[in-house]
């Protein structure tokens, strides 16, 4: 086993639950040694950190515990940095400087951006050598996420509507929470963000939506490379089983009602809640017939002029023959995913068949 430190993204609990779900899905032997709102330290059996990084949406960096501070690349002049998690790293920095001097390696120190661990490392992606210092232990950064690549992928696709699309980061997290290994279904695929990320992870993807035009345009744009690995079905999410006989996992941000220009009245919210309750119940009941694995799904809660209003999702889950799944014992699900000012508050659920 090798000790790895995962630098968690903006929603640390969600990021941790995602890592755990990924390890569970691929049966990677692991044990968690420590976690807080910035990092998680795992002992893990044989992983390829770059591959894991590509797969995860909520992890910013992966670093491995090391006592080897060597630079192995071909360059004669390098840039390097030491990010501090906890403790005082001054001795280590001096040791590094001395080492580089002795080896006649021109090494330029780049000061880490303030609170580097919480910030997407746009700059550190270009470093030649990066260490993280945590209470006297040194970790070498072996994989870094590239937010620039995400932004490009998001905004350059032909059919992009920022208002309704979920972020690439969240799409990846949802897929991992569903523990998809081979295939994933999004029954409300919209512009196809979840499908697109699933394809890039090497999964077979199926999308269902009343309107599949933008998803089709986006998936075709992704390239011929993914030829027959995707399928779109124009249809109703409540009647999936007419077209789909078996599916491994489901990841979805379902229809959550109309877009509110202003805070709705209680009455307006109640009407939408009634409609969505019926939709989600019908969806889950139908999925029960075809699903082998887990569902990762977002459920909305509404702010109204008279306070918050929510769907009685627990009764719906039970009535459809599912139950809540909690990947990490210490973290209770569902997990919230919204900003304080949001009118619509999203909660992330993972469900398994009873
Ligand atoms: C919240 S959007 C999904 C957004 C998507 N996650 C994305 O990133 O593009 C909801 C989608 O559900 C579709 N929809 C609404 N009711 C549906 C139903 N009963 N069956 C299938 N699709 C439905 C809408 O056409 C819309 O594209």
- For residue range 288-314, what is the model confidence (pLDDT) as tens digits? 999 999 999 999 999 999 999 999 999
Question: Which of ligand 1's atoms lies nearest the C-alpha of 188?
Answer: 12
Q: Determine if the pTM surpasses 0.85.
A: yes
User: Does the CB atom of residue 165 touch ligand 1 within 6 A?
Assistant: yes
- Ligand 1 centre distance from Cα of residue 207 (Å): 10
Say if residue 198 is in the same domain as residue 251.
yes
pLDDT-derived band of residue 121, with 50, 70 and 90 as boundaries? very low
Question: Parallel, antiparallel, or unpaired: how do β-strands 307-310 and 137-144 relate?
Answer: unpaired
- Mean pLDDT, to the nearest integer, of 41-53? 95
Residue with CA closest to ligand 1 atom 16: 255
What number of other Cβ atoms are within 10 A of residue 239's Cβ? 13
| Closest to 240 measured CA to CA, from 203, 201, 207, 204 | 207
User: Does the CB atom of residue 300 touch ligand 1 within 6 A?
Assistant: no
Question: Which of ligand 1's atoms lies nearest the C-alpha of 215?
Answer: 9
| Closest to 253 measured CA to CA, from 222, 280, 213, 230 | 280
Beta strands in 75-117 (DSSP E): 77-86, 106-109
Print the domain residue range for 279: 149-353
Say if residue 140 is in the same domain as residue 153.
no
- Mean pLDDT, to the nearest integer, of 252-260? 95
CATH number of the domain residue 45 falls in:
3.30.2130
Say if residue 210 is in the same domain as residue 253.
yes
- Among 145, 165, 197, the domain boundary falls at 145
User: Does the CB atom of residue 166 touch ligand 1 within 6 A?
Assistant: yes
Residue 155: what pLDDT? Answer: 80
What are the pLDDT digits (tens) for 70-86?
999 999 999 999 988 88
Question: Which of ligand 1's atoms lies nearest the C-alpha of 208?
Answer: 21
- Count of domains forming the chain: 2
pLDDT at 124 over 70: no
Residue 115: what pLDDT? Answer: 55
Say if residue 137 is in the same domain as residue 156.
no
What does the block give as tokens for 242? 């007419």
CA 113 to chain centre: 23
Question: Which of ligand 1's atoms lies nearest the C-alpha of 192?
Answer: 9
Residue 120: what pLDDT? Answer: 39
- Ligand 1 centre distance from Cα of residue 167 (Å): 15
User: Does the CB atom of residue 237 touch ligand 1 within 6 A?
Assistant: yes
- Ligand 1 centre distance from Cα of residue 165 (Å): 10
- Among 145, 164, 180, the domain boundary falls at 145
Say if residue 128 is in the same domain as residue 28.
yes
- Among 101, 125, 145, the domain boundary falls at 145
User: Does the CB atom of residue 236 touch ligand 1 within 6 A?
Assistant: yes
- Ligand 1 centre distance from Cα of residue 131 (Å): 43
Residue 83: what pLDDT? Answer: 87
pLDDT at 87 over 90: no
Q: Which residue has the higher pLDDT, 119 or 296?
A: 296
- Mean pLDDT, to the nearest integer, of 170-197? 97
CATH number of the domain residue 213 falls in:
3.40.50.150
Measured distance CA(331)–CA(306) in Å, rounded: 30
Question: Which of ligand 1's atoms lies nearest the C-alpha of 283?
Answer: 19
Say if residue 137 is in the same domain as residue 96.
yes
What are the pLDDT digits (tens) for 195-248?
999 999 999 999 999 999 999 999 998 877 677 799 999 999 999 999 999 999
What are the pLDDT digits (tens) for 57-70?
999 999 999 999 99
Which residues are CB-contacts of 332 (< 8 A; sequence separation ≥ 6)?
326
User: Does the CB atom of residue 193 touch ligand 1 within 6 A?
Assistant: yes
pLDDT-derived band of residue 125, with 50, 70 and 90 as boundaries? low
pLDDT-derived band of residue 158, with 50, 70 and 90 as boundaries? confident
Measured distance CA(240)–CA(124) in Å, rounded: 45
Residue 123: what pLDDT? Answer: 55
Q: Determine the longest span between alpha carbons in the chain, in angstroms.
A: 74
User: Does the CB atom of residue 191 touch ligand 1 within 6 A?
Assistant: yes
Say if residue 241 is in the same domain as residue 115.
no
User: Does the CB atom of residue 210 touch ligand 1 within 6 A?
Assistant: yes
Say if residue 189 is in the same domain as residue 139.
no
Question: Which of ligand 1's atoms lies nearest the C-alpha of 236?
Answer: 20
Say if residue 193 is in the same domain as residue 265.
yes
Residue 114: what pLDDT? Answer: 62
Say if residue 141 is in the same domain as residue 46.
yes
Measured distance CA(327)–CA(16) in Å, rounded: 9
Measured distance CA(326)–CA(182) in Å, rounded: 21
Question: Parallel, antiparallel, or unpaired: how do β-strands 137-144 and 129-134 relate?
Answer: antiparallel
């Amino acid at each position: 086993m090798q000790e790895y430190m995962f630098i968690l993204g903006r929603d640390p609990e969600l990021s941790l639950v995602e890592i755990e779900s990924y390890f569970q899905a691929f049966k990677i032997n692991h044990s968690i040694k420590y976690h807080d709102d910035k990092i998680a330290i795992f002992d893990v059996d044989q992983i390829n950190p770059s591959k894991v990084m590509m797969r995860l949406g909520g992890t910013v960096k992966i670093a491995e515990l090391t006592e080897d501070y060597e630079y192995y690349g071909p360059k004669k002049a390098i840039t390097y940095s030491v990010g501090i998690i906890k403790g005082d790293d001054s001795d280590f920095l001096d040791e590094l400087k001395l080492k580089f001097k002795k080896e006649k390696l021109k090494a330029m120190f780049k000061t880490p951006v303030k609170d580097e661990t919480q910030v997407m490392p746009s700059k550190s992606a270009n470093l030649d050598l990066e260490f993280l210092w945590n209470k006297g232990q040194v970790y070498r950064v072996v994989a870094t996420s590239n937010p620039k690549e995400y932004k490009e992928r998001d905004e350059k696709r032909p059919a992009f509507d920022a208002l309704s699309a979920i972020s690439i980061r969240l799409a990846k997290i949802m897929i991992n929470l569903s523990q998809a290994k081979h295939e994933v279904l999004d029954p409300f695929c919209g512009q196809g963000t979840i499908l697109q990320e699933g394809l890039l992870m090497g999964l077979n993807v199926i999308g269902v939506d009343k309107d599949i035009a933008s998803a089709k345009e986006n998936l075709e744009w992704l390239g011929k490379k993914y030829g027959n690995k995707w399928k779109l079905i124009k249809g109703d999410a409540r009647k999936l089983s007419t077209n789909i006989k078996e599916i491994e996992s489901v990841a979805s941000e379902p229809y959550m009602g109309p877009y509110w220009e202003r805070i709705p009245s209680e009455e307006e919210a109640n009407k939408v809640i009634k409609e969505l309750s019926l939709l989600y119940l019908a969806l889950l009941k139908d999925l029960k017939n075809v699903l082998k694995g887990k569902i990762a799904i977002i459920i909305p809660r509404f702010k109204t002029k008279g306070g918050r209003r929510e769907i009685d999702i627990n009764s719906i889950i039970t009535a459809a023959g599912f139950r809540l799944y909690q990947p990490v014992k210490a973290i209770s699900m569902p997990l919230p995913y919204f900003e304080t000012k949001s009118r619509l508050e999203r909660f992330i659920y993972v469900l398994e068949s009873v």
